[in-house]
Chains A and B, each alone.
Chain A
Amino acid sequence: MGYYFRQRTIHSAISLLGLVIIVFFLARLTGNPMDLLLPVDTPQAVRDEFSARHGFDQPLIVQFGSYLADLARLDMGNSLRDGQPALDHVLAAFPVTLMLSFWAMLVSLVIAIVTGSIAAWRPGGVFDRVASLISLAGASIPNFWIAIVGVLVFAVWFRVLPTSGTGTPWHWVLPVTVLFVRPCGVLTQVVRSAMIDALAAPYTKTARARGVTSRKIIFGHALRNAMLPVITVAGDQAAGMINGAVIAETVFGFPGIGKLLIESIMFRDFAVIQAAVMVTAIAIFVLNIGIDLFYAILDPRVRHG
Chain B
Amino acid sequence: MITKQTSALLGSAAVVFGLMASGAMAQSDDTAITIVTPLSYDNIDSCNSSADVGLVVRENVVEALTHLNPETGVPEPRLATSWEQTEPTVWRVTLREGVTFTDGAPFDASAVKRSLERMFNPNLDCLNRGKLFANILLTTTEIDSHTLEISTENPQPLMPIFMSFLTIDSPNTDFDTMTNTPVGTGPYMVPERGVNDPIVLERQDDYWGDAPEVSKATYVQRGESALRAAMVEVGEADIGLAIAIQDAVDPETDMAYLNGETTRLRFTFEGPLADIRVRKAMNLAIDRTMLRDGLFNDSYKIATQMFLPRISGYNPDMEPWPYDPEQAKALLDEARADGVAVDTQIPLIARVNFYPNGLEAMEAMIAMWQMVGLDVKLQTMERAQWLRLVNKPFAEPRDPMVIQEQHDNNSGDATFTMHFRYHSEGQQSEFADPKLDELIDAADVATGEERVSLFQQANAYSAEEIVPDIMMFHMVDYMRVSSRLDFTPDAVSNSMLELASIKFDETD
Interface residues of A in 148-178 (CB under 8 A from B): 148, 151-152, 155-156, 158-165, 168, 170
B427 CB contact (under 8 Å) in A43, A84, A252, A255? A43
Q: In whole Å, how far is A146's beta carbon from the nearest beta carbon of chain B?
A: 13
Q: Complex: how many Å from CA A93 to CA B231?
A: 23
Once A38-B130, A84-B195, A250-B223 are accepted as A-B contacts, the answer to whether A163 and B231 lie under 8 Å apart by CB is yes
Interface residues of A in 129-152 (CB under 8 A from B): 148, 151-152
Q: Which residue of chain A lies nearest to B224 when distances are taken between CB atoms in the complex?
A: A251
Instruction: Assess whether A82 is in contact with B180, with CB atoms less than 8 Å apart.
Output: yes
Let me know if B127 is at the binding interface, CB within 8 A.
yes
Q: Mark A193-219, 1 if CB is under 8 A from B, else 0.
A: 000000000000000000000000000
Instruction: Assess whether B131 is in contact with A83, with CB atoms less than 8 Å apart.
Output: no
Let me know if B398 is at the binding interface, CB within 8 A.
no
Which residues of B sit under 8 angstroms from A162, Cβ to Cβ? 23-24, 236
Q: Mark A25-58, 1 if CB is under 8 A from B, else 0.
A: 0000011100111111111111001100100000
Instruction: Assess whether A44 is in contact with B42, with CB atoms less than 8 Å apart.
Output: no
Interface residues of A in 56-108 (CB under 8 A from B): 79-84, 88-89, 92-93
Once A81-B43, A263-B40 are accepted as A-B contacts, the answer to whether A39 and B24 lie under 8 Å apart by CB is no
Let me know if B233 is at the binding interface, CB within 8 A.
yes
Interface footprint category on A: 35 or more
Q: In whole Å, how far is A50's beta carbon from the nearest beta carbon of chain B?
A: 6
Let me know if B392 is at the binding interface, CB within 8 A.
yes
Let me know if B344 is at the binding interface, CB within 8 A.
no
Instruction: Assess whether A39 is in contact with B383, with CB atoms less than 8 Å apart.
Output: no
Let me know if B390 is at the binding interface, CB within 8 A.
yes
Q: Complex: how many Å from CA A151 to CA B383?
A: 31
Instruction: Assess whether B131 is in contact with A42, with CB atoms less than 8 Å apart.
Output: yes
Q: In whole Å, how far is B493's beta carbon from the nearest beta carbon of chain A?
A: 18
Instruction: Assess whether B131 is in contact with A39, with CB atoms less than 8 Å apart.
Output: yes
Which residues of B sit under 8 angstroms from A268, Cβ to Cβ? 384
Once A81-B43, A161-B20 are accepted as A-B contacts, the answer to whether A31 and B385 lie under 8 Å apart by CB is yes
Interface centre among A41, A49, A252, A255 (most CB of B within 10 A): A41
Q: In whole Å, how far is B52's beta carbon from the nearest beta carbon of chain A?
A: 10
Let me know if A240 is at the binding interface, CB within 8 A.
no
Let me know if A253 is at the binding interface, CB within 8 A.
yes
Let me know if B209 is at the binding interface, CB within 8 A.
no
Instruction: Assess whether A159 is in contact with B24, with CB atoms less than 8 Å apart.
Output: yes
Instruction: Assess whether A39 is in contact with B51, with CB atoms less than 8 Å apart.
Output: yes
Which residues of B sit under 8 angstroms from A50, Cβ to Cβ? 125, 130
Q: Complex: how many Å from CA A45 to CA B230?
A: 44
Interface residues of A in 237-288 (CB under 8 A from B): 250-253, 255, 260, 263, 268
Interface size on B, residues (CB 8 A): 48
Which residues of B sit under 8 angstroms from A35, Cβ to Cβ? 383-384, 387
Which residues of A sit under 8 angstroms from B453, Cβ to Cβ? none
Q: Mark B455-485, 1 if CB is under 8 A from A, else 0.
A: 0000000000000000000000000000000
Instruction: Assess whether A82 is in contact with B43, with CB atoms less than 8 Å apart.
Output: yes
Q: Complex: how many Å from CA A202 to CA B24?
A: 53
Let me know if B7 is at the binding interface, CB within 8 A.
no
Which residues of A sit under 8 angstroms from B391, Cβ to Cβ? 40, 44
Q: Complex: how many Å from CA A83 to CA B224?
A: 27
Which residues of A sit under 8 angstroms from B196, Cβ to Cβ? 89, 92-93, 255, 260
Q: In whole Å, how far is A175's beta carbon from the nearest beta carbon of chain B?
A: 12
Once A42-B134, A151-B226 are accepted as A-B contacts, the answer to whether A160 and B384 lie under 8 Å apart by CB is no
Once A148-B224, A159-B24 are accepted as A-B contacts, the answer to whether A43 and B134 lie under 8 Å apart by CB is yes
Let me know if B6 is at the binding interface, CB within 8 A.
no
Q: Which residue of chain A lies nearest to B392 when distances are taken between CB atoms in the complex?
A: A44
Q: Complex: how many Å from CA A268 to CA B384?
A: 10
Q: Which residue of chain B lies nearest to A251 when distances are taken between CB atoms in the complex?
A: B224
Instruction: Assess whether A82 is in contact with B42, with CB atoms less than 8 Å apart.
Output: yes
A163 CB contact (under 8 Å) in B125, B131, B234? B234
Q: Mark B251-270, 1 if CB is under 8 A from A, else 0.
A: 00000000000000000000
Let me know if B1 is at the binding interface, CB within 8 A.
no
Instruction: Assess whether A41 is in contact with B387, with CB atoms less than 8 Å apart.
Output: no
Q: In whole Å, how far is B423's beta carbon from the nearest beta carbon of chain A?
A: 13
Q: Could you give 5 example pairs across A and B, Cβ below 8 Å? A: A41-B427, A45-B134, A84-B180, A156-B234, A170-B23
Give A contacts to B, CB under 8 Å.
30-32, 35-46, 49-50, 53, 79-84, 88-89, 92-93, 148, 151-152, 155-156, 158-165, 168, 170, 250-253, 255, 260, 263, 268
Given contacts A160-B17, A163-B231, 4 further A-B contacts (CB under 8 A): A31-B385, A35-B387, A44-B393, A160-B20
Give B contacts to A, CB under 8 Å.
17, 20-21, 23-25, 40, 42-43, 51, 122-123, 125, 127, 129-131, 134-135, 177-178, 180, 194-196, 220-224, 226-227, 230-231, 233-234, 236, 383-385, 387, 390-393, 420, 427-428
Closest 7 CB pairs of A and B: A31-B384, A81-B42, A255-B196, A82-B42, A35-B384, A82-B43, A160-B20
